[in-house]
Amino acid sequence: MYRVVAIVCGGLALAGCSSTPDWLSIDALKPAPAMETVRFETNPPGAEAKASNGQSCHTPCALALPTNAPMTISFALNGYLPTTETIEPVAASIGLPELRPNPLQVELSPAPPKHVKKPAKKPATRTSGKTPPKPATANTAPPAPAPTPASQATPQPPSPATQQAPSPWPATPPPKGQ
């Protein structure tokens, strides 16, 4: 019987060397860092408060944070500039560190308005659905006007102020039947 007990104990000892359960590990004996609940408030409320350890909430809210090191808290809200604040552990009278400031109050600044560039206006084009008239051909050229006594005088070139720019549309043919 003693042999069976010795063999079982030896087998358990060898098995224990190959894999140790978490509840027997030395790390399980270390104390967890002290935690403190820190309250976050923003003006205006509703901002997302995100701690450097990954925890987040929407203000007003509170998070349980470890007191063993300083932490940064980022605040973000649409229409406002993002803000980052730091909370630091401070020695307390009871011996455990406390995070300060607690509660953390933040005033968010409005974001400047975004300037949207207006697209440049393109010149208007005619899109009435009608096709432009066909240009006059040699067969349908209008007859030259008969000279009048005023036009027989020496022709004066028109002044630049009274000249009209040429039309982008072709000249219209005279109505048929004349």
Residue 140 lies in a domain: no
Q: What pLDDT score does 108 carry?
A: 93
Give the SS3 label for residue 15.
Answer: helix
Q: Which two tokens stand for residue 74?
A: 């980022």
Provide the pLDDT for residue 76: 94
Domain count, the chain: 1
CATH of the domain at 91: 2.60.40
Does any domain span residue 53?
A: yes
Instruction: Return the structure tokens found at 48.
Output: 């997302």
- Closest by CA to 38, choosing from 24, 26, 51, is 51
Please state the separation of Cα 65 from the chain's center in Å. Answer: 30
Question: CA 69, CA 89: separation in Å to the nearest integer?
Answer: 6
More confident residue, 104 or 171: 104
pLDDT in tens, 66-96: 888 899 999 999 999 999 999 998 887 777 7
15-71 residue pLDDT tens? 666 566 666 666 666 777 788 899 999 999 999 999 999 999 999 999 999 888 899
pLDDT bin (cut points 50, 70, 90) of residue 166 is low
Q: d(Cα 126, Cα 79) in Å, to the nearest integer?
A: 43
Q: Residue 60 is part of which domain span?
A: 33-111
The more confident residue out of 8 and 135 is: 8
Which of the pair, 69 or 158, is modelled with greater confidence? 69
As a whole number of angstroms, the distance between CA 162 and CA 168 comes to 18
Residue 109: the pLDDT is 92
Question: Could you tell me if residue 145 is inside a domain?
Answer: no
Indicate the average pLDDT of the chain.
Answer: 76
Report the distance separating Cα 137 and Cα 30, nearest Å. Answer: 103
Listed in sequence order, the residues at least 6 apart from 173 whose beta carbon sits closer than 8 Å to its beta carbon are 133, 134, 136, 140, 142
Question: Dihedral sign, CA of 38, 42, 48, 52?
Answer: negative
Cβ partners under 8 Å of residue 157, min gap 6: none
- pLDDT of 57 reads 94
Residue 139 scores a pLDDT above 70: no
